[in-house]
Structures are given as structure tokens and as C-alpha cells.
Structure 1
Amino acid sequence: MDLKIKGKTALITGGDSGLGIETAKFLVREGVNVVLSDKTNGKKLKNAVTQVEKDCEKGAKVMGMAADISKNQEVLDMADRIEKEFGGAHIIFHSAGARGAAGDFLELTDDDWMKTIQVDLMGAVRIARAFVPHMQKLKWGRMILVASENAFQPYEDESPYNACKAAVINLSKCLSRSYSKEDILFNCISPAYIETPMTDAMMEDLAEEKDCSIEEAVKWFVKNKRPHIAMQRRGKPEEVAAVVAFLCSQNASFINGSNIRIDGGAVESAFG
């Protein structure tokens, strides 16, 4: 499929693994320049750039940039660098985030809450504030924020994460009403139980707790914690990336302010 975005530039936060890498591969095959960003410019990010470069077509370029989304100045500096290098970012896929503090609600402190909010909510705010001006100058834009099934079906031990992801959906809807007349569209995706570093870490902890293999931990988790996933497995990053790539495209020009669940049926309600 021709997504009609050849020559545009995309920023992917959380770009050193999982959803970020797989989405980057889709975009560079369409001729989109991609900036992969993560908290540090370490070996993992450099390896991600090398990996995505193998898929480049139609003159696409790939670059790595470090920026901590919990620090406003680092986000602004990254925006300036992208503007100088590529003339600005037409597309943002903001997939950086963290599970944050988890546990009994009464045991979570203000600091626990604020650390999660600074990454999962304010990170999205900072990215939008820094890059909407690029899109205004370019007269075209697509921004996709990552929410979660937790926004609709919250889990009791993840209250800060649940609240932040619900807020991200609301933020995206708010922004979609503000800038759509300038051909700048905002949408959310809500993945559930995808093969990412975050769920890998969860399964490693569970395997240790139950003294079993990670594969056994995944099976136990699906059966006992995500019984509505009919396929009885974790989702694959590329299954999410295909949806994101479409939302980034000119072909998605009438999708705005939406949230798309990519959860294998994990959310029980038909209307969540």
C-alpha cells in the first residue's frame, strides 16, 4: 500500500525497541525519514538505528537522538535539532512510557504518582507542545499517542498508570479539536499485552515469583489475568506497527480524535 508520505519526517519516541522499531521499519519502507529517540544515546539506540536502516527505501534516512521526555528542555532541544536537520517533523509516534509505580493504592506515595505522571502524561504534553509548531509550519501533521487497555479496564495494582493512560486519550481528543483545521490530526492507540520490554520485564518478575519459565509465566498470565484474549497469546509489535503506520498516512485523512484498541479482545466491554 502506498501511504502517500514519501519524503516526510517522523519522530518515534521510545524508538530503541518494540513498537518503535517495528513502526520505523514500516515508515522507512514508505520513504519516510525517521528519527528514533530514547532516553539515552546508548548501544541499544544505535543498534536500533542500524536495524531500521536495513529496511530503508526511496531515499529514507534514519537517525538516533537522545532525549529524556521527563525533561522539557531536552524535548525542546530535540525539536530544534530535527528542524535543523530535516526542516521539522511531520509525524510523531509517541511510544515512550513506563509502567511506573505499582502496588496497593494506599501504599503509593505522592512521589510514586508524580514519577509516573512526569513520564506517561507530561511526556506526551511536552512532545505535543514542542512539535505541533513544526506541523503548523509544514501545514500537515500526524501525531499518534500510546494509551493502553488500562484506560478502559484498569487493573487495581497499576492506578497511576491507569489514570495517566486515560488522561492521554483525553489529551489526544482535546488536541484533535484544536488543530484539525490545519490538517494536523491526533489519534491514540490502546495496545494490550504486546511483546515489549515492559511486558518482558513483567513476565520475568512473574516467572521468578512462580519459579517457572517465562513461557509458562506468559501462559499463566493470559489464562488468569487476560482471559478475554481469544488468541491466548501476547500481541506482536508488528501487529501494532501496521495500524500506527496507517494512522500516520495520508490515507487516514478522516481519522481524527479516535482511539484504536489493539488488544486481541482483552477489554471485556464492547464500548470501551
Structure 2
Amino acid sequence: MFIDLSDKTAIVTGATGGIGLAIAKGLARAGATVVITGRDQERLDAALARLRDAAPARKFRGVLADVATAAGCKQLIAAQPQADILINNLGIYAVRDFFEIDDDQWEEMFQVNVLSGIRLSRHYAQGMRERGWGRIQFISSESALNIPAEMVHYGVSKAALQGVSRGLAKVLAGTGVTVNSILPGPTRTEGVATFLASMAEARGVSTTEMEALFIKENRPSSLLQRFADPDEIANLCVYAASPQASATTGAALRVEGGIVESIA
């Protein structure tokens, strides 16, 4: 299958590292002009350099904006008024005891993980609808289906994304604009690597051993039996953004290694 996005412009939020950067790289290699966002200029510049190394013939642009806020979303929209592909990847997670998650932490989780994507989709979907083509993705998580006891607020925010995605797909029915949520499982990003390293140090094991222990203890139903690489998540996202995925909309697309105990 040859995916050609050479006439498309894609926005990927939270793309200075991890899954977002991998998605941006994959879209660029398929020919898209890629716009990424970040809150820190140094990290944004470093991400752009990595993208140019990975796909030197492609066009990239960075927008310095905190799209977890309404003001940051307005900054991005002003800098890039239209797009053909929107990947709502920005997200945070935090391990917290449920009884210690206060209102401010719940609010922050929803502002970053849910409302950022809603605000941007509300704007960019209108242009896509007018042009009769578009792709919107919300990066959810297997935690939306298997709410983790150690971070209930995170799981709930990711479940909300699936609701938004399905609802928006209905709003855009028959317009040529597809909307899907993507459900990764445990993925070996920079942030996760740091998290695992701290756990490994506390337990006196290597990071590699800690990865295996994490899967065994926290995701025992995994069929993959390992952490995914960000590029493995990006591969599905690139396909879902392609013309070939024109009949896939309103779906929760799982790339979680078989963790979810369901055949549906």
C-alpha cells in the first residue's frame, strides 16, 4: 500500500517527543506538510531538527503554543488557520491515589487531555467539512477501557476522548471527514522510560527487567508482552489519516498489544 499525503497539511499537537513526534515523522514520510506544537522553544527546535533528519525533503513548521489552554489554541489557529489532518495527541498522565486527586488535578487532566482536542477540532473540522475532506484523530489509550486504579483521572479523561470522537464523527457524517480515536498500550516514550528508570532504581532491577515486570504486574493480559515502540503506534495513525482509510470513521482503533479482554 502506497500512502500519498503530498497535498495535505497535518497538525500534530504535543509532538516534541514520544508518540507525537513519531506520528509527525510518519506523516512527513508519507508526503504531508507537518505542523507541530510545543511549549518550550528549545524542545520544539530539537524536534524540528529530528524531523528534518528523518525526512529531509519534507516541509515542517513549529508553533510555540500551549494548546492545553484556550489562549494557546487561539495562537495555533492564528498561526495555522487551516489543516487537512488534525492529530490531537497532547496529553499528560500521573500516578495518583484516587483519594488524593483533588479538583485542581481533575481539572488539569481534562483541560490538557480533553478540552485541547475539543477546541482545535471545533475550529479545524469546519474547514475540512467545507472542503469535503479531512482526518481528525484523538489519541486515547487502552486505559480508557481498562481504567487503571493508580490513575483513575487519566483513564476517565481518555474514555471521554472516545465519546468526543464518536460524537464528532456523527456530526460530520457524510462530509468526507473521518474522526477516530487511537488506543495505544504501554509505549516506550521518553517520559515512560524515565518513569520506568525510577521504578527500576527503587526495586534494584535493570530498566529492561522493570519493563517486563510492569507488563506482568500491571498489564498481565497483554498479548504483545512488551512495550510498543512509538513508530508502531504512528503506523496506524498514518494509515487512519490516509485516503485509503476513507471508510473508517467513528471507530476506536486499538494498537494496545491485545491488553483489552474483548474481541469487539
**TM-based fold match above 0.5:** yes
TM-score of the two chains, using structure 2 as the length reference: 0.94
Contact 1:41 1:64 in 2 (8 A): no
Equivalent AA in structure 2 for residue 51 of structure 1: R
RMSD: 1.7
User: 2 CA distance for matches of 1:160 and 1:127?
Assistant: 22
SS of residue paired to 1:115: helix
Is the CA contact 1:12–1:93 (under 8 Å) kept in the aligned structure 2?
yes
2:20 aligns with 20
Q: Is the 8 A contact 1:10 1:92 kept in 2?
A: yes
- Do 2:69 and 2:112's aligned partners in 1 also have CA atoms closer than 8 Å? no
C-alpha separation between the residues in 1 aligned to 2:194 and 2:227? 14
**Retained in 2: the 8 A contact 1:9–1:89?**
yes
Unaligned runs of 5+ in 2: none
Note if contact 1:121-1:167 (Cα within 8 Å) is conserved in structure 2.
yes
Correspondence list, 1:47-126, <5 A? 47-56=46-55, 60-83=58-81, 88-100=82-94, 102-126=95-119
Tell me the equivalent position of 2:3.
3
Identity of matched residues, %: 28
Cα shift at 1:69: 1.9
Task: Output one character per residue of 1:65-101: Cα deviation in whole Å (capped at 9) or x when no partner.
Answer: 1221221121122112113xxxx2100111110004x
- The letter of the residue matching 1:90 is D
Q: Please name the residue that 1:268 is paired with.
A: 261
Q: Which moved more, 1:235-244 or 1:219-228?
A: 219-228
Q: Distance in 1 between matches of 2:51 and 2:130?
A: 28
Taking the aligned partners of 2:58 and 2:77, their CA distance within structure 1 comes to 19
Measured in 2, the distance between the counterparts of 1:150 and 1:231 equals 16
One-letter amino acid of the structure 2 residue matched with residue 228 of structure 1: S
The offset of 1:245, in angstroms, is 0.3
* TM-score (norm. length: structure 1): 0.91
1:231-255 residue CA offsets vs partner (Å, 9 max, x unmatched): 3210011111110000001100000
Flag the 1:198–1:127 CA change in 2: closer, same or farther, 3 A: farther
Deviation string 1:32-60 (CA, Å, 9 cap, x unpaired) is 10011122222x22121112123437x63
Letter in 2 for 1:99: Y
Which residue is equivalent to 1:226? 219
Paired residue secondary structure (2:257)? coil
Structure 1 gap ranges (5+): none
Equivalents in 1 of 2:130, 2:54: separation in Å? 29
Alpha-carbon distance in 1 for matches of 2:53, 2:173: 34
The AA in structure 2 aligned to 1:35 is V
Map of 1:216 onto structure 2 = 209
Measure, in 2, the Cα distance between the counterparts of 1:136 and 1:40: 32
